[in-house]
Structure 1
Amino acid sequence: MSKTVFVIGLGLIGASLAKTMTISHPEHTVYGWDTKIESTHIAKKSGIITQVAPSVAEVAPLADIIILAGPIHTTMQYLHDFQQLTLKPDVLVTDVGSTKYEIATYANTLPFDFIGGHPMAGSHKSGVLAADTLLFENAYFIFTPTSPSQQKRVNELVTLYQETKAKFIVLSPLEHDQITGMLSHLPHIIASGIVNQSDGFNQAHPRAKQLAAGGFRDITRIASSDPVIWTDILLSNRTQLMDLITTWQIQMQQVYQWLDHKDRHAIHHFFESAKETRDAMPIHQPGAIPRFYDLLIDVPDEPGVIATVTAKLAQANISLTNIKILETREDIIGILQVSFKHEADLFLAKDYLTQHTTYPCRIKE
């Protein structure tokens, strides 16, 4: 049965969902709208959507399903504004935000069904032109219904999003925020805090910035996230994060005490426990933080090495997203780190380079 789907917000997530639905459900009419009018027209021209929405107020009353694909505070504003419109009695509204409890609590006061959604996927690219039907493949897509009637309607979204090839999970809004707070939001805060601390340190020690290009840059990679989005996330999950930060502060104070008392046994146990926990984690499964698909290639420090690697990848029609040298010193083997958007490209690149070069390759875990 044909439906009218309205995607509000045509950034990376919204445009990728719209493109997947347009291709996999040709029987549906997929309207799109974005505050950047140019993005909406690009989406229509590119076949990401089937129709351009003149305005939210004109199309929302026609929609069977409305997908709010903007920042959290913007989603809250749309939910408020929808009360002034005459939506279809059985309309289903959903979103793609990174926090769920605040939105779900507010949506429960509204006269239409709202099921929170969170596709745990991302990319280094953004905007409508970055739309990718493979963006959600094997990623977790979480739904957070809050009532029996909403539970029954989750399958409508699963059917709509089926061709994203995501892994669908149902959680309560609170449990969602507790889990993502621990596994995603707190690590972002810690990474950003370390980077900000190092900035002041670099002023006193200029060589530190040069030395930070290797492992330090890798462990703080997530600090490069969009500050507008992350401000929204923190404020909408503030209660959970305040609890988590308090626990983190207590643990760091404990480490401080171990150092002060030169407690070798406690420090060793701290690292041993962390190692055992991390080693037990699944290696090639998606998680709360989007994975980086990196291939480490041992290469000699000689002219033309990078060109050889990139040429081989081009021959195999494999796209890379980033390339950098982790170490190059005279007369030793250096390490070339090549990053890919998809896990499939990572394994293809490893196999192809192993077969067509003499450079040892290994996947970064």
Structure 2
Amino acid sequence: MKGRVFIIGLGLIGGSLALCVKNQHKDAVIIGFDVNREQARLAKMLTIIDDIAETIESGAEHADLVLIATPVKETERILQLLAKTKLQPHVIISDAGSTKEQIVNQSNLLKERGIAFIGGHPMAGSHKSGVTAAKSILFENAFYILTPEEHIHEQQLLQLQDWLAGTKAKFLIMTPEEHDYLTGVISHFPHIVAASLVHQAERKSETQKLVPRLAAGGFRDVTRIASSSPEMWRDILLHNKAVLLHLFTDWQHEMKRIENMLQSENGEEILAYFAQAKQFRDELPKKQRGAIPAFYDLFVDVPDYPGVISEISGILAHEEISITNIRILETREEIYGVLVISFQTDEDRERANTCIHLNTSYETSI
């Protein structure tokens, strides 16, 4: 497709969307804008975008597609600005935010002008941030939710999907309300739980000095999502307030249920509780990407001698396998140490596992 695509927000998501559109639509011109001028400069230098817009208004004025990849509160402000901007009558505007109902409501000002806004949410992310972390494969096989209102024509929805075909994502169509409820259950609320567990551990560490050391292993992995952007999660919680307050009530009932089992020392009921949870969790799709970005970790048992990290990283570099993170665990018993290596995809992890087995005698686990 030919045309001008304007991307507002040139971080990981915006930069990756730009790459996907550029790869699929060779004749499209990609214009970018970011309040951080350095991010915009880097995006152009890396040829992620073709040119930089000085303002949102100037970038949007001649665009055929506008993609907003900013925090949700900022997206609201941008929609208000676009509603006052001279736009092409056929332009399609979409966003990439984690909440939809409030944003779609904010787009009513565009609807009054006959401008098409289709809410979007690509369910993908990475350990890294910023435009330098952008990847054209970031959304591959991930769910990409679109939340068109009833006035949106099917042709407009198909046109947006065509523009976004380079993501190689799985498009799901639902209402903004359904989106916010589902993401509340399987993404927003788990982030709150993870953060609360970290707060509890921090409080206990004031009197139990071993807490931070022992939390370096499994606890750190369980609460990994608590390391996400505080500003982003503040905005998400405020946007999805009604759903999350409802889930808080459900969670309190769930905790009370477990408390009652423990108070009565009902071993059979406790066993059944964990067995049911295990069964449901084990039946969840293993290869399918969901709302929370997956962590593709490989655990390598290594001896304690200088150069072991460079040995492993050298093997992976020789095979051109990209690593997103590498760290050492020291809390497992009966072994010297464990390297935890994180990868972008499950395929990279499988390749790494194979080549480490072929080139070393180290034990690995997933």
Q: Same fold (TM over 0.5)?
A: yes
For residue 193 of structure 1, give the secondary structure of its aligned residue in structure 2. Answer: helix
Q: 1:330 to 1:294 in 2, by over 3 A?
A: closer
In 1, Cα distance between equivalents of 2:50 and 2:80: 27
1:62-94 C-alpha deviation (Å, 9 max, x unpaired)? 111111111111111111112222211121110
Residue 73 (structure 2) aligns with? 73
Structure 2: segments with no counterpart, 5+ residues: none
Q: 1:269 to 1:169 in 2, by over 3 A?
A: same
Residue 84 (structure 1) aligns with? 84
In 2, Cα distance between equivalents of 1:259 and 1:343: 38
For residue 86 of structure 1, give the secondary structure of its aligned residue in structure 2. Answer: coil
Amino acid at match of 1:4: R
* Deviation for aligned residue 1:349: 0.4
The answer on whether the counterparts of 2:194 and 2:223 sit within 8 Å (CA) in structure 1 is yes
The answer on whether the counterparts of 1:115 and 1:150 sit within 8 Å (CA) in structure 2 is no
In the TM superposition, 1:76-225 aligns within 5 A as 76-110=76-110, 111=113, 112-147=115-150, 149-225=152-228
In 2, Cα distance between equivalents of 1:164 and 1:47: 18
* Deviation for aligned residue 1:9: 0.8
In the TM superposition, 1:1-365 aligns within 5 A as 1-110=1-110, 111=113, 112-147=115-150, 149-327=152-330, 332=335, 334-363=337-366
For residue 17 of structure 1, give the secondary structure of its aligned residue in structure 2. Answer: helix
* Deviation for aligned residue 1:24: 2.7
In 2, Cα distance between equivalents of 1:24 and 1:331: 51
Structure 1: segments with no counterpart, 5+ residues: none
* Deviation for aligned residue 1:308: 2.5
Tell me whether 5-14 or 21-30 shows the greater mean CA deviation. Answer: 21-30
In 1, Cα distance between equivalents of 2:338 and 2:46: 39
* Deviation for aligned residue 1:165: 1.6
In 2, Cα distance between equivalents of 1:137 and 1:214: 30
Provide TM-score, normalisation by structure 1. 0.94
The answer on whether the counterparts of 2:217 and 2:331 sit within 8 Å (CA) in structure 1 is no
1:214-273 C-alpha deviation (Å, 9 max, x unpaired)? 111110010000000011111111111111111001110121122222222222221111
Provide TM-score, normalisation by structure 2. 0.94
For residue 206 of structure 2, give the secondary structure of its aligned residue in structure 1. Answer: helix
Tell me whether 200-209 or 59-68 shows the greater mean CA deviation. Answer: 59-68
In 2, Cα distance between equivalents of 1:348 and 1:334: 22
Tell me whether 191-200 or 39-48 shows the greater mean CA deviation. Answer: 39-48
Q: 1:150 to 1:200 in 2, by over 3 A?
A: farther
In 1, Cα distance between equivalents of 2:92 and 2:154: 12
The answer on whether the counterparts of 2:214 and 2:331 sit within 8 Å (CA) in structure 1 is no
In 2, Cα distance between equivalents of 1:302 and 1:4: 55
The answer on whether the counterparts of 2:216 and 2:331 sit within 8 Å (CA) in structure 1 is no
* Deviation for aligned residue 1:334: 4.3
In 2, Cα distance between equivalents of 1:245 and 1:184: 14
Q: 1:227 to 1:332 in 2, by over 3 A?
A: closer
* Deviation for aligned residue 1:144: 0.8
Q: Give the total of aligned pairs.
A: 363
Q: CA RMSD in A?
A: 1.8
For residue 282 of structure 1, give the secondary structure of its aligned residue in structure 2. Answer: coil
Q: 1:279 to 1:129 in 2, by over 3 A?
A: same
The answer on whether the counterparts of 2:7 and 2:18 sit within 8 Å (CA) in structure 1 is yes
1:262-310 C-alpha deviation (Å, 9 max, x unpaired)? 2222222211111111111111210110000111223344554333222
* Deviation for aligned residue 1:169: 1.4
Percent of matched pairs sharing the same residue: 44
Amino acid at match of 2:231: V
For residue 129 of structure 2, give the secondary structure of its aligned residue in structure 1. Answer: coil
